[in-house]
Amino acid sequence: MSIPPAVSASPTNLLEKLVLLYADLGVQMFRIFKTVSFLICLSFSFVLSAQKSPTAPQREIREHFTKAQQAMQGRQLDTAFGEFSAILALDPKNVEARGDLGVVQFFQGKYADASPNLQAAVRAQPSLWKAQAILGLCEKAQGRLDSAKTLLEKSVPHLQQDPKLQVRAGLALVELDYRRRDMEKALGVLSLLQNTDPTNADVLYVVYRIHTDLATEARQTLAMVAPDSARMHQLLAQHLINERDAKHAVTQYREAIRIDPHLPGTHFELGEAILMDSGATVGQQEAQKEFEAAIAENPGDAKSECRLGALFGLGGDNENARKHYLRAAELDPTESEAQAGLGKILMSTGQPNEALPFLLAAVRLNPINAPAHYRLAQLYRQLGRAADAEKELATFKELRNTEDRLREAYAPAGKESGSSQALNPDIPQ
């Protein structure tokens, strides 16, 4: 049986058929691509259209937000309340409007109404620190102190962008810590608030009050556990100094040193008390002896070096005065008195231009250093800078007036026993 030969196509015919086949496929793919591209473009155009054309409720919500913000800026709380309520009627899950409504209710004094709205906002977004702080204030106003403390502790450090709220919430937290006698935490919060607003009268008062309470408690405890100790006599001396009774303060300091000759800080404080009681002329030698004893006990005592510099300066010994001031500045570059003393020496020796940097440093390091401002005013006059001189003189007078008011408020009648200005007799009192 013969096998028929295989049918063979010529190479040319096969190639043509393949070309035609691929061409046909290409046409079909192109048609498909065009169709898909059209659908994609169509769907994208719908997305853009949706983005550019918000729905009616979205437009209404935006309008209410704008009106609410304007009302808040104008302190129109009732109007703002209505606008935020309208937003929530359209979108009950709107976290921002829920929190803002709670804020409005807080400022209206409706703490019980504000709390649920603020809680809902904080649950949805825990990093809403303002809402969390105001919720803490609401909780405190309603007597829920534990909850308030937790909320305020979390939120107060994060309120840098709203200093007024940070101070208000921070002081509320300090009050809660104070009630628990947790002074360490209270002082930590106050340190934060002082950095936020260093001149805030409420913050400064609370700082003073807490430190005063701590001092009173410590004094009472010391009087009970160590009534005859050197520290007790030192404390009594400091109390007498505050009452401007330098004469009896000197007696207490001497008793403290008799009990403990190496009691830290006592020789310096006794030297200061001697100058206040006797003045620099009469008490110079006694005071100098105490400042030298203080340095012998503590070679790093920059303040005692400053006092020795001042005493030598009063005696006309500028060389020794300069040495002590330089030593003080070396020990403590932030010591304003050292800079002022060096400036004073340079002024007295006819070197006003060289004195200027030292006096500028003195008032920069301690803006309430009244003698330094006075000397800087004198120096500016020598340099022909009249406007600057008047400015420094005005600052000096303002500081002196403040000191006088405090002195009148605190100094007991009949106890004017010397002045801490003994080392600056050339400066008006």
- pLDDT for residue 411: 55
Average pLDDT score, the chain: 84
Which domain range does residue 270 map to? 227-299
Domain count, the chain: 3
pLDDT tens per residue across span 125-171: 899 999 999 999 999 999 999 999 999 999 999 999 999 999 999 99
Distance CA 404, CA 35 (A): 92
Identify which has the larger pLDDT, 226 or 280: 226
Q: Could you tell me if residue 274 is inside a domain?
A: yes
Distances (CA, A) of 267 to 248, 270, 287, 391: 16, 5, 9, 38
- What is the percentage of the chain residues whose pLDDT exceeds 90? 63
Q: Are 206 and 174 in contact (CB under 8 A)?
A: yes
Q: In the predicted model, is pLDDT for residue 393 greater than 70?
A: yes
- Spatial neighbors of 48 by CB under 8 A, at least 6 apart, are none
Q: Say if pTM beats, i.e. exceeds, 0.75.
A: no
pLDDT tens per residue across span 332-341: 999 999 999 9
Distance CA 39, CA 45 (A): 10
Q: Could you tell me if residue 62 is inside a domain?
A: yes
Do residue 179 and residue 167 come from a single domain? yes
Do residue 253 and residue 288 come from a single domain? yes
Identify the CA nearest to 342 among candidates 380, 329, 314. Answer: 329
- pLDDT for residue 266: 96
Q: Could you tell me if residue 179 is inside a domain?
A: yes
Amino acid at 272: E
Q: Could you tell me if residue 327 is inside a domain?
A: no
Do residue 292 and residue 277 come from a single domain? yes
Do residue 213 and residue 285 come from a single domain? no
Tell me the DSSP string of 63-102: HHHHHHHHHHHTT-HHHHHHHHHHHHHH-TT-HHHHHHHH
Distance CA 163, CA 157 (A): 11
- Residue 414's pLDDT band, with cuts at 50, 70 and 90, is very low
Q: Could you tell me if residue 325 is inside a domain?
A: no
Identify the CA nearest to 237 among candidates 271, 207, 209, 262. Answer: 271
Do residue 220 and residue 240 come from a single domain? no
Do residue 239 and residue 274 come from a single domain? yes
Do residue 109 and residue 173 come from a single domain? no
Mean pLDDT of 196-223: 94
Q: Could you tell me if residue 234 is inside a domain?
A: yes
The residue from 278, 299, 320 where one domain ends is 299
Q: Could you tell me if residue 219 is inside a domain?
A: yes
pLDDT tens per residue across span 109-122: 999 999 998 999 89
The residue from 247, 281, 299 where one domain ends is 299
Distance CA 239, CA 125 (A): 53
At which residue do the structure tokens 């009732």 appear? 78
Do residue 198 and residue 175 come from a single domain? yes
The residue from 272, 299, 326 where one domain ends is 299
Q: In the predicted model, is pLDDT for residue 420 greater than 70?
A: no
Which CATH number belongs to the domain containing residue 97 in this structure?
1.25.40.10
Q: Could you tell me if residue 276 is inside a domain?
A: yes
Distance CA 423, CA 429 (A): 12
- Spatial neighbors of 284 by CB under 8 A, at least 6 apart, are 311, 314, 315
